[in-house]
């Protein structure tokens, strides 16, 4: 007679009885983004970097190369996004040399999430990963609040001009878009952010990642609100009338010389 105190050990491994297992075709269908045929992802960004109320750089690249099949767009502090993407690029380069193939986007997302978690929100970087791997095209957002999210259609990272861009996506996005339509949609979304936000501006950069290659267009379109100066801003001498003129002579009262201390 078996003992009632002996626990029956189940078989090892995972059980998928209570969940739906999608086929590969269904997974590809769920990963549609900006254009049809499950080919790839379109990313866009503006090129203005600000320092407070001052435009520090008019041609800042906000689309960062990670691997041949993964690119990353960043918002927040430009130095933080640059160094964070450099860290991710170096780690994935070692993974490529070890595995002999391009990495998956979920791997890049987990590396970013772990890196930002260890710094407890001290790194001002809001990142959007886009690319195509062995499971199809994907878009991930990784935020300062240590959140990671997979997006199936479109998204915009939380920057100063993301709300106008997101409004354009929500209004004009359609399933099974062609590549040309996707480029125009991304361009118009970035242009909406430029025109409705002082922290965004200059040009529109575009990056299209496909299964068979990547195309980065910089700039895809220059800013459409530039204009030539209508008048001359250098005025000849005497244009402004002098109302009163007074000259005061300053005499030297005392002069001292102070010896500067230098390290021996």
Domain contains 180: yes
- Domain annotation covers residue 247: no
Identify whether the C-beta of residue 107 lies closer than 8 Å to the C-beta of residue 79.
no
The boundaries of the domain holding residue 52 are 36-221
Does 120 fall in a domain? yes
In a domain, 207, yes or no: yes
Determine the Cα–Cα distance for residues 12 and 52; give it in Å rounded to an integer.
57
Tell me which DSSP letter residue 222 carries. -
- Do residues 202 and 47 lie in contact, with contact meaning Cβ atoms separated by under 8 Å? yes
pLDDT > 80? residue 118: yes
Residue 19 resides in a domain:
no
CATH number at 159 reads: 3.60.20.10
Q: Assess whether the previous peptide bond of 249 is cis (omega < 30° from 0).
A: no
Q: Is residue 147 part of a domain?
A: yes
Is 241 inside a domain boundary? no
Residue 37 has pLDDT above 80, yes or no: no
Specify the length of the chain in residues: 264
Q: Name the domain count of the chain.
A: 1
Asked whether residue 174 is assigned to any structural domain, the reply reads: yes
pLDDT in the model for residue 13: 52
Task: Report how far residue 148's alpha carbon sits from residue 183's, in angstroms, rounded to the nearest whole number.
Answer: 25
Across the range 206-228, mean pLDDT stands at: 79
Two tokens at 210?
A: 């496909």
Residue 163 banded pLDDT, cuts 50, 70, 90: confident
- What confidence category does residue 225 fall into, taking pLDDT thresholds of 50, 70 and 90? low
Q: Give me the pLDDT at residue 61, please.
A: 85
Tokens of 152: 């199936």
**Mean pLDDT taken over the chain:** 78
Give the model's pLDDT for residue 191.
Answer: 86
User: What is the band of 233 on the pLDDT scale with cuts at 50, 70, 90?
Assistant: confident
Is the pTM above the cut of 0.85?
Answer: no
């Amino acid at each position: 007679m078996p003992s009632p105190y002996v626990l029956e050990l189940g078989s090892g491994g995972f059980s998928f009885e209570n969940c739906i297992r999608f086929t590969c075709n269904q997974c590809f269908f769920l990963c549609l983004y900006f254009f049809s045929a499950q080919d790839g992802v379109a990313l866009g960004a503006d090129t203005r970097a600000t320092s407070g109320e001052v435009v520090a750089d008019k041609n800042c690249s906000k689309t960062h190369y990670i691997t041949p099949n993964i690119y990353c767009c960043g918002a927040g502090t430009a130095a933080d996004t640059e160094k964070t993407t450099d860290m991710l690029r170096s780690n994935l380069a070692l993974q490529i040399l070890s595995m002999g193939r391009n990495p998956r986007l979920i791997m890049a997302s987990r590396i970013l999430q772990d890196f930002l978690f260890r710094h407890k929100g001290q790194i001002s970087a809001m990142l959007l990963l886009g690319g195509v791997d062995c499971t199809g095209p994907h878009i991930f957002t990784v935020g300062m609040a240590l959140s990671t999210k997979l997006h199936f259609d479109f998204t915009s990272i939380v920057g100063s001009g993301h709300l106008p861009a997101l409004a354009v996506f929500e209004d004009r996005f359609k399933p099974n878009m062609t590549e040309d339509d996707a480029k125009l949609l991304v361009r118009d979304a970035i242009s909406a952010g430029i025109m409705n936000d002082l922290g965004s501006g200059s040009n529109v950069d575009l990056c299209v990642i496909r299964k068979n290659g990547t195309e980065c267009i910089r700039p895809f379109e220059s800013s459409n609100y530039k204009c030539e100066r209508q008048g001359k801003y250098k005025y000849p001498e005497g244009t402004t009338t002098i109302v009163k003129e007074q000259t005061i002579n300053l005499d030297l009262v005392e002069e001292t010389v102070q010896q500067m201390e230098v390290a021996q």
